[in-house]
Chains A and B, each alone.
Chain A
């Protein structure tokens, strides 16, 4: 609407300006011509008076100019450039300009003036000067403005009417269509249809729109069908998963039971062997060859090794049994206990402990203590080659949850095998360098699984290792320390 008014208005304005300019130019020309004619007539009348230098008659003739209301002043000059007569009579002489020769007409200082030589026959007898105001021009100009104004107002009124009509015919239906589209997308109601108006382009548009809505509706329906199918499939899958999980769980339980019984049943015969090996050792103290002594020592070491292995396996299987207690535990207290229990082992070691403020957590204190014991023991073990071992135990946020970590500056492990760390009997170091059964970390993992947590590690060979773990009770408890 605004565009139409602006376009129409500016076109009209330009045209009006053009016409006005033309009109003003023509008016100016007319003004000059009229002044010329007036000068000619007056000059002809005044020629005798100029010839005879008769001021009285000359003034009379000039005074006739008052009939032409636009004349401001007039003067008659003799041949020797003296003022003979002037009009209006009351204006002092100095208001009249110096004479100029030849016919000169020009616009100057808001008026038009003319110098007109007066002749009597062939003789030049003097000069007439006329000055006229521009009121005819201004009047015309004002008239033009009024006309242009009126025309523009009318034009704008017509344009507005037209625009309104067009609006109703075209823009209206289009806006309706837009509203319908918006309603459809906002409310997702694909049953809505636009009202068809007429058989013209707008009608075609509306038809196409409705057709499109049809398609959308069909797609929508198809989508829902596939959605429900998907849900169905999901449910089946979940059932299957549950089934498998329960199968697995039961398998695990069996395995646990097996491990327990085996370990338990292995211990007894082992004790026998150990006992007799001990007796043999005592015998070899007094008699027997050095070689025999060595053999018996080896037998004992082997037996003890086996014993540790079996103990650890037993431990592992035990972790699954029994209740998992849940109570609020100070983790720092656990750490302190573990370290103090290790005191005899680390008496001769140079270990720098950096223990942070750990939060309290809801967990089984015994089991979590085992976790700390195992990780700290590992840290102590693998930092043995170091002058000074630096072991850090602290808490940090990892992926939005709190995690406890144990960091050492030991020999580290090849991080390629970091997935294997927590497997049973997995060792990444040689038994000659570092003793161990390869079951410790598996136990730790089991314990954390039971607590709804996880454990992971990172390391660089010879640069040390870091073990993080989280569990359910750690995330929810506030830090109290």
Chain B
């Protein structure tokens, strides 16, 4: 167990299976409500699912049982939702942890979700994570084009995502073709003037 500045909250939400079931029940063809909680549910589910389709370099883990760490940078918009989803789940034999980082300080993690609260300083967060093998995900608009790896987009009432493969490669992350297939767009980093 890692200790740290994080406050790890134990989830008291019911088992993730039931929750996932509830998520999936509303997804297909159903319009994504403009209400935030629905979208967040889906985003949280996707965060969890992304992990299965990404390969981190071996150096990202202490050992074969070390957990995947999802870090939430900025204000946690998910409340307990993400915790509920990942509780008790394992991917590739690794459990999943959720950590919260504030003040732009991003600790050790494998997936970094940049909260909308940081939408002003996305660039600086990304710079901090430049040399680390961290999958950056956010629902800030244009995230993938600005150097993020996976950016959520709301398209025709459905949650979609764009993937920036260049950034992922730069971070030594291998994203499965299956995930790439599902992306609405594979974007490239806009060259900075």
- Which of A's residues lie within 8 Å of B, judged by CB? 45, 47-49, 51-55, 57, 78-80, 82, 84, 120-121
Shortest beta-carbon distance from B105 to chain A in Å: 31
Q: How far is the CB of B92 from chain A (nearest CB, A)?
A: 7
Residue of A nearest to B178 (CB): A48
Interface contact B24-A53, CB-CB below 8 Å? yes
Q: Are B28 and A52 in contact (CB under 8 A)?
A: no
B54 located at the interface, meaning its Cβ lies under 8 Å from any Cβ of chain A in the complex: no
**Interchain CB contact under 8 A, A54 and B182:** yes
Q: Shortest beta-carbon distance, B40 to chain A, in Å?
A: 16
Q: How large is the interface on B (under 10, 10 to 19, 20 to 34, 35 or more residues)?
A: 10 to 19
Given A48-B176, A120-B52, A121-B91: A57 in contact with B28 (beta carbons within 8 A): no
- In the complex, which residues 31-58 of chain B have their Cβ closer than 8 Å to any Cβ of chain A? 46, 49, 52-53
Chain A neighbourhood of B181, CB < 8 A: 48-49, 57
Query: Known pairs A54-B182, A80-B24. 7 more at Cβ < 8 A?
Result: A48-B178, A48-B182, A49-B182, A52-B182, A80-B25, A120-B52, A121-B92
Expressed in whole angstroms, the Cα–Cα distance for A52 and B176 within the complex equals 14
A-B contact count (CB 8 A): 37
Main secondary structure of the interface of B (DSSP, over half): helix
Residues of B within 8 A of A57 (CB): 181-182
Q: Are B28 and A78 in contact (CB under 8 A)?
A: yes
**How far is A103 from B28 in the complex, measured between Cα atoms in Å?**
24
A48 engages B179 (CB within 8 Å):
yes
CB distance from B38 to the nearest CB of A (A): 14
B29 on interface, CB distance cutoff 8 Å: yes
Residues on B with beta carbons closer than 8 Å to the beta carbon of A48: 53, 176, 178-179, 181-182
Which residues on B sit within 8 Å (CB–CB) of A52? 46, 49, 182
- Taken together as a complex, chains A and B put the C-alpha atoms of A53 and B92 apart, in Å, by 21
A78 touches B24 (CB 8 A): yes
Q: Is B49's CB under 8 angstroms from A51's CB?
A: yes
Enumerate 28 A-B pairs (CB-CB under 8 Å) in ascending A order: A45-B178, A47-B178, A48-B178, A48-B181, A48-B182, A49-B178, A49-B182, A51-B49, A51-B52, A52-B46, A52-B49, A52-B182, A53-B24, A53-B27, A53-B28, A54-B182, A55-B28, A55-B29, A57-B181, A57-B182, A78-B24, A78-B28, A79-B24, A80-B24, A82-B28, A121-B52, A121-B91, A121-B92
